[in-house]
Structure 1
């Protein structure tokens, strides 16, 4: 623990050296003169601090880095750095997904995937996929990236570079080498990189007094479209979960992400880079999974791959809906309903269908969607009845039917409030009903007076649920 504290304390870049133990045996914050040791009894063995191990020098680790990880030394702007380079034919599959399909994703699709106009003019081959392995997940100045993977598409090849921090004093050269590599690209691709990887790297660039313009490039974060599509089916939308359940790739002997910081600290104590072999493989597979995922998202937007699961199709429909592709979204919702959805998603799909149809001017079809929702007898039935009442009031001018539907909504709204605002749902329905009854009288229609019993309507009677 003293050794680890000493290493972490080195992050104060203005000084270097072992921390002097205080008389209590705890690590101090700064060295201080020791009082005379004459006539002082020897401290108890249990309280004697063991001397810290020396720094792992760059030259010391290089032979083992080359031997066990097939790495090499590269000369960067701030000195030598350690890197592992690999290349893979784009024809390689990650599970069911060929890496080469990412090459078909153009700027228009990148803009749709990321919902970011700055991506529209970019070429996929000019994007750097990035992923960091760190000393913790909390962020801030106390968290370092000790392994940064960068991947890109070079013609029919996927190239990966993994920059490694052998010990804390080498961080400036490590960060400078990363910046030099990223300077050659027009944009970034990550998985949750907007919230974690890039802010972390920005902190490290700032603390090492290096320019960070390479991190200000247009950025496609794959977490957000992935969560939009697959969150309704998967328990977690972590990259590993999507890799397994969407891409169909299962890793053998993969190291869990939560243990990676400890493996790095184990390496710092032992100096044995073999401790980190699985971490390098984990990082490489994360990079390849992002390349494959971009290809899969592009295929889904091109309708080359259509999900065969209702919740996934609903998620795709919401993405298409927000992109303004209403017709494709409607097809996705209808297919999702056919394949089967849990009750809550079924209601949400019908609501989205009705809203999209009404927005496109197909009000009769929108009314049919609201009627289907009313028949579901779920928590959204009151809303569906009110929307049907609006349709009969404004489109059909059938005020009697509109009033009847409003009364039925009144049976449900006390148990299932769905209107928010200063007025209660009951108040709003009461005002609507009074207005409809006035309109019905003026039109010579005879609205029924609600007596508390069941009434004839266009939908099946709705039983008040619990």
Structure 2
């Protein structure tokens, strides 16, 4: 094939459709590589319907209702939303938070300053950042901040359209937080607050955020729902407890990349969805705090809770020194049904509460229930407690001796199931107790 045939074959190819008049007049000249690539590019753009001008990227001002705010540190973008008193986030009304008591906040946080709790003095804060691990290299590009103004809930969102606007959003947040006493976050102690302090420090600015009484909702959430839910992420909690279903949301782990893409393209289409994500997080803080505090205040009249929830509540109340509520929750857990591995722990906890309150009949019932469970898996605990009861409370050394003898028979039968060291330790403890009790039965001194 000579040169003329090669040119004819090339010009008869699909590229010919994209040649201009000047190109067609020079059919005798071989197309350069650059010309070929340009033709391929023009054809691909036409096939995708993009042969004309590329549409201009959408700015954030076109997609999100807000304004550009001037500060001593430059500009940033600000959005305000007002939620009416009847607004419901999922199945929970925001105004439910107005029922939260100082006692519940104080007990759940362990911070005595919450004795002065007022909902109008609290701010709810959530940040969106360029990384999820924190550190000096992580940049805050959005801060959401909500608070109650009367019965209305007011939400501010401060957005840095590029890195240079971070100081502006930090300045506005600091100006807004000065009248408040209480801070509510989710995992804020580990992430949001340390990161905010770092960014303020690097910007050589002061902040009072670390001085506020801090209620981090992740800790009571884990204590109450860790056993039942697959995890205690905010998205899981809001879906399971508040009935929130997000539509058109951006997953939290994708948000840093969305911001990087926005900085490169200046197209705010996806960033608009980050505003939605941040607003939903703030509203979930309100709903979750109301749910937790009201559950603490009225554990038997708030919603439909399962056995694992009542077990966790029983443990929480027990740790907080509220034995009466704790015992009721443990009993409710056993009546509602809990996984088999939690049943012995529930009976043990109940027996501790009854023993401390000197409710011996109830304590004996709990220990007897543990003995029945111990037929399947040996546990020395109920034998020891029953023996101590007969020895120290009733001074019936014969009954106490019988209990210890039963325990020895049981561990001998269960020897194959026990680790050698554990078996030896149990046997020594029981034999020592048995020798002492036999001496007391005979009226002899045992010490």
Residues paired across the two proteins, number: 381
Question: Which of the residues 204, 208, 217 maps onto 1:209?
Answer: 204
Aligned to 1:349: 346
The alpha-carbon deviation at position 430 of structure 1 amounts to: 2.8
CA distance in 1, matches of 2:144, 2:418: 51
CA distance in 1, matches of 2:238, 2:256: 22
Aligned to 2:387: 389
Larger relative helix fraction: 2
Aligned to 1:65: 60
Pairing of 1:48-87 with structure 2 (within 5 A): 64-87=59-82
| Cα shift readout 1:154-198 (whole Å, capped 9, x = no counterpart) | 222111111112211222222222211222211100111111110
The alpha-carbon deviation at position 255 of structure 1 amounts to: 1.7
CA distance in 2, matches of 1:213, 1:308: 38
Match status 1:333 vs 2:330: yes
Aligned to 2:399: 401
Pairing of 1:288-437 with structure 2 (within 5 A): 288-303=283-298, 304-305=301-302, 307-377=304-374, 381-410=379-408, 411-412=410-411, 415=417, 424-437=425-438
CA distance in 1, matches of 2:201, 2:129: 17
The alpha-carbon deviation at position 373 of structure 1 amounts to: 1.8
Pairing of 1:23-62 with structure 2 (within 5 A): none
Q: 1:272 to 1:408 in 2, by over 3 A?
A: farther
CA distance in 2, matches of 1:77, 1:335: 58
Higher-Rg member (1/2): 2
Q: 1:311 to 1:271 in 2, by over 3 A?
A: same
* Structure 1 alignment gaps of length 5 or more: 1-60, 445-466
Question: Which of the residues 228, 244, 248 maps onto 2:243?
Answer: 248
CA distance in 2, matches of 1:171, 1:380: 61
The alpha-carbon deviation at position 75 of structure 1 amounts to: 3.3
Aligned to 2:442: 441
| Cα shift readout 1:235-258 (whole Å, capped 9, x = no counterpart) | 101111111111122222322111
* Structure 2 alignment gaps of length 5 or more: 1-55
The alpha-carbon deviation at position 326 of structure 1 amounts to: 1.3
Contact 1:226-1:237 within 8 A present in 2 as well: yes
**SS in structure 2 at match of 1:220:** strand
| Alpha-carbon RMSD | 2.4
CA distance in 2, matches of 1:350, 1:384: 10
Aligned to 2:263: 268
Mean CA deviation greater in 188-197 or 298-307 = 298-307
Contact 1:347-1:380 within 8 A present in 2 as well: no
The alpha-carbon deviation at position 77 of structure 1 amounts to: 4.7
Q: 1:375 to 1:280 in 2, by over 3 A?
A: same
The alpha-carbon deviation at position 110 of structure 1 amounts to: 1.3
CA distance in 2, matches of 1:332, 1:77: 55
Contact 2:143-2:169 within 8 A present in 1 as well: no
Aligned to 1:30: none
The alpha-carbon deviation at position 74 of structure 1 amounts to: 2.4
Aligned to 2:36: none
| Cα shift readout 1:265-308 (whole Å, capped 9, x = no counterpart) | 11111111222112111111111011011111222123241543
Contact 1:93-1:99 within 8 A present in 2 as well: yes
Aligned to 1:29: none
Match status 1:139 vs 2:127: no
The alpha-carbon deviation at position 380 of structure 1 amounts to: 7.0
TM-score where L is the length of structure 2: 0.80
